[in-house]
Every structure is written in structure tokens, then in C-alpha cells.
Amino acid sequence: MSPVCARGGEPGVPVRTAKAERRHQERLRVQSPELLATPEKELSPAERRALEAEKRAMWRAARMKSLEQDALKAQMVIAKSRENKKRGTLEQLAESPSPAPTPSPTPLEGASSLPLDIGALTLEERL
């Protein structure tokens, strides 16, 4: 079975749904009724079911391909977004001046002789 093409017989564009196929058949019937062949009317019920199953399989395959393409596009957008975000933070770091180093506090001389304060009592008072 050859895939039915949409939009006036554009090659390579398959009809993906039953509704689209009905619209396509109606469009063909209106445009050129003599060219419209109806081979499905001559099919037995089993052949018709097999044909419909084949069409559904083709529609599912086309839908899966479309979903895969959309997923690839989404992955590309996410990767580009991460790259831009990373580039933006690197540019911000490059543009901002580095902060001046702050001197570390020096310990007080003679602090070791002072009593340690624990709560309200000093260490010397607890002993």
C-alpha cells in the first residue's frame, strides 16, 4: 500500500490520521471525481481490517518519528540554554572586578590568660 499524500498530492507528506485521510479523499472527490478510485469497496472485511491495521501502523511510525524529531530539537534547545547560561556567568565573572583580599584577623595577645565564657558562668567559676 502506498502512503496517501496530503495537500493535493504533495509527495513525501503522508496523511497521518483518519480525519486527514477523509479530508484528503473529499478534496480529491471534489477536484476530480473521475480520478478517485475506490479499491476499498471491493475488499473483503478481513482485507479491509488488514489495510486499516497497516495504515494505523504507518500513522504510529510517522507519529513516533515526529516525536523523536521534537525530542531532538528540545535537547538542542536545552543544551544551547545551558551553554548560554554558562557563558553568561563566565562573562559576568570576567567583567566584575575581583574583590580586594581582606586581611585575616590576628589573635589577641594575652587572650589565652582570659577566662572562657560558657553561658553565664566562666570556666574558673564552674570548677
The predicted model gives 98-123 an average pLDDT of 58
Half-sphere exposure of 122 (CA within 13 A, CB side): 6
The predicted model gives 94-105 an average pLDDT of 66
pLDDT confidence of 107, banded at 50, 70, 90? low
- Residue 120 in any domain: the answer is no
What domain range is 57 assigned to?
18-86
Question: pLDDT at position 6, please?
Answer: 47
The predicted model gives 114-125 an average pLDDT of 56
Q: How many domains, in total, are found in the chain?
A: 1
pTM (2 decimals)? Answer: 0.43
Question: pLDDT at position 77, please?
Answer: 97
- Residue 115 in any domain: the answer is no
- Residue 51 in any domain: the answer is yes
pLDDT, tens digit (0-9, with 9 covering 90-100), for 20-71: 888 888 888 888 766 555 555 688 999 999 999 998 999 999 999 999 999 9
Q: CA 72, 75, 78: angle at the middle one, nearest 5?
A: 155
- Residue 10 in any domain: the answer is no
Distance in angstroms (rounded) separating the CA atoms of residues 21 and 1: 14
- Residue 117 in any domain: the answer is no
Strands (E), 1-119: 117-118
- Residue 123 in any domain: the answer is no
The predicted model gives 80-104 an average pLDDT of 77
